Chains A and B, each alone.
Chain A
Amino acid sequence: MTIKELKKNKNFYLITKEVINKSSSQKRKILKFINTVNHLYFMRAEIFATRFLKYLKMQKIDFKYAINAYLKLCRDMMTSQKYFLKNKKYPVDNEKLAYKNVYGNIREMKSYMIGLAISQFLWPTHYAMYSFFIEKIEKENSKIKNYLEVGPGHGLFLIQALEKLNDNTQYEIVDISKTSLQITQSIVDTIINKERKINYKLKNILNIRNSKKFDFITMGEVLEHVTKPKELLIKLKNLVNDNGSIYISTCVDCPSIDHVYHFKSVSEIENMIKQSGFRIIDKLVLPVEEKSMKEIIKNKITINYCAHIRKKIN
Chain B
Amino acid sequence: MKSSDIIKKSIVEVNKQLKKKEKIVYKKTFEILGPKSKLDSLIIVNLFIAIEEKIKSLTGKEINLLSDDFFEKSYKQRYTMGDLEKDLFKKKKKKK
Contact = CB atoms under 8 A, between A and B. Distances in A.
B35 A289 contact: no
A82 interface: yes
B49 A86 contact: yes
B37 interface: yes
B34 interface: yes
Contacts of A75: 71
Interface string B72-86: 001101100000000
Interface string A67-100: 0000100010111011001100000000000000
A53 B40 CA distance: 30
Contacts of B45: 78, 81-82, 85
Q: Is the interface of A mostly helix, strand, loop or mixed?
A: helix
Interface string A219-243: 0000000000000000000000000
Given A24-B33, A24-B34, A81 B41 contact: yes
B75 A71 contact: yes
Given A71-B75, A82-B66, A25 B46 contact: no
Instruction: Among B45, B53, B66, find the residue whose CB has the most chain A CB atoms closer than 10 A.
Output: B45
Interface residues of A, number: 18
Nearest to B41: A78
A86 B78 CA distance: 25
Q: Is the interface of B mostly helix, strand, loop or mixed?
A: helix
B75 A81 contact: no
B42 interface: yes
Contacts of B71: 75
B58 to A, nearest CB: 17
A216 to B, nearest CB: 35
Contacts of A28: 35, 37
Nearest to A27: B35
B41 A25 contact: yes
A22 interface: yes
Interface string B55-96: 000000000001000010011011000000000000000000
A24 B41 contact: no
Contacts of A81: 41-42, 45
B48 A82 contact: yes
Nearest to A26: B75
Kindly list the 7 A-B residue pairs having the minimum CB-CB distance in the complex, ordered from nearest. Answer: A82-B45, A24-B35, A24-B34, A75-B71, A86-B49, A78-B41, A25-B33
Given A23-B75, A24-B74, A81-B45, 7 more contacts: A22-B75, A23-B74, A24-B78, A28-B37, A82-B49, A289-B40, A289-B42
Interface of B: 17, 33-35, 37, 40-42, 44-46, 48-49, 52-53, 66, 71, 74-75, 77-78
Interface of A: 22-25, 27-28, 71, 75, 77-79, 81-82, 85-86, 289, 299, 301
19 contacts: A22-B75, A23-B75, A24-B35, A24-B37, A25-B33, A27-B35, A28-B35, A28-B37, A78-B41, A78-B45, A78-B66, A81-B41, A81-B45, A82-B45, A82-B48, A82-B66, A85-B49, A299-B17, A299-B42
